[in-house]
Amino acid sequence: MTLFSTLTTTLNPEVVTRIANYVDEPVEKTQKAVDGLVYTLVGGLMKRTTTEIGVNQLFNHIQKGRYDGTLTDNLPTVLRDPNQTNALITQGNDVISHLLPAMKSSIGSMISGYAGIRNSSAISLLGLITPIVLHTLGKQVKERKLDADGLASSLFSERDAFVNAVPEELMPRLIEKLGLHQVVAGSAAPARRTLVETTTPSGQVRQSETVTRQPINYDLNNDATEDTSVLAKWGVGILLALAVAAGGYYIYQNTRQYDDKTIAGTSESTSLADTVMTDTVTRSLAVPQAPASTTPASAAPTATTATTTPASIPGVAGASPTTGLLSQQLTPYLTNPALPKGRVFALPGLTFTPGSLSLTPSAQPVVNELATLLKAYPALQIQLIGYANDAAGYGMTNKALSFKRVNQVKQQLMAAGINFVRIDAIGRGTGVSRRDTSGVPKPTLRKIDMKVVVK
Residue pLDDT, tens place only, 161-216: 898 889 988 988 898 889 888 888 888 889 886 554 555 556 555 555 543 333 33
Domain count, the chain: 2
**Higher pLDDT, residue 196 or 352:** 352
Q: Tell me what pLDDT residue 19 has.
A: 95
**Higher pLDDT, residue 40 or 244:** 40
- Which residue, of 143, 170, 199, is where some domain finishes? 199
In a domain, 447, yes or no: yes
CB-based contacts of 158, cutoff 8 Å, min separation 6 = 2, 3, 4, 42, 46
How many CB atoms lie under 10 A from the CB of residue 148? 24
Q: Tell me what pLDDT residue 212 has.
A: 36
The CATH number of residue 398's host domain is 3.30.1330.60
pLDDT at position 269 over 70: no
CA separation for the pair 22, 127 (Å, rounded): 13
Q: Model confidence over 286-317: pLDDT tens digits?
A: 333 333 333 333 333 333 333 333 333 444 44
- Which residue, of 174, 199, 224, is where some domain finishes? 199
In a domain, 359, yes or no: yes
pLDDT at position 258 over 60: no
pLDDT at position 363 over 90: yes
pLDDT at position 424 over 50: yes
- Which residue, of 143, 171, 199, is where some domain finishes? 199
pLDDT at position 245 over 80: no
Q: Tell me what pLDDT residue 97 has.
A: 85
Q: Evaluate whether 129 touches 71 at the Cβ level (below 8 Å).
A: no
pLDDT mean across residues, the chain: 77
In a domain, 9, yes or no: yes
Say if pTM beats, i.e. exceeds, 0.75.
no
In a domain, 114, yes or no: yes
Q: Model confidence over 39-68: pLDDT tens digits?
A: 999 999 999 999 888 899 899 989 998 899
In a domain, 284, yes or no: no
**Higher pLDDT, residue 197 or 319:** 197
Q: Evaluate whether 425 touches 407 at the Cβ level (below 8 Å).
A: yes
CB-based contacts of 312, cutoff 8 Å, min separation 6 = 319, 320, 321, 372
Q: Can you give the residue range of the structural domain that contains 373?
A: 325-433+441-454
Q: Evaluate whether 49 touches 42 at the Cβ level (below 8 Å).
A: no
Q: Model confidence over 91-149: pLDDT tens digits?
A: 998 888 888 988 888 999 999 999 999 999 999 999 999 999 999 999 999 999 999 99
Q: Tell me what pLDDT residue 353 has.
A: 92
Q: Give all strands of the β-sheet with 447-454 in edge-to-edge order.
A: 344-346, 447-454, 381-387, 423-427
CA separation for the pair 93, 160 (Å, rounded): 28
CA 413 to chain centre: 14
> Lowest-pLDDT range, 19-33, 338-352, 410-424, 429-443?
429-443
Q: Does 165 lie in the same domain as 19?
A: yes
In a domain, 414, yes or no: yes
SS3 140: helix
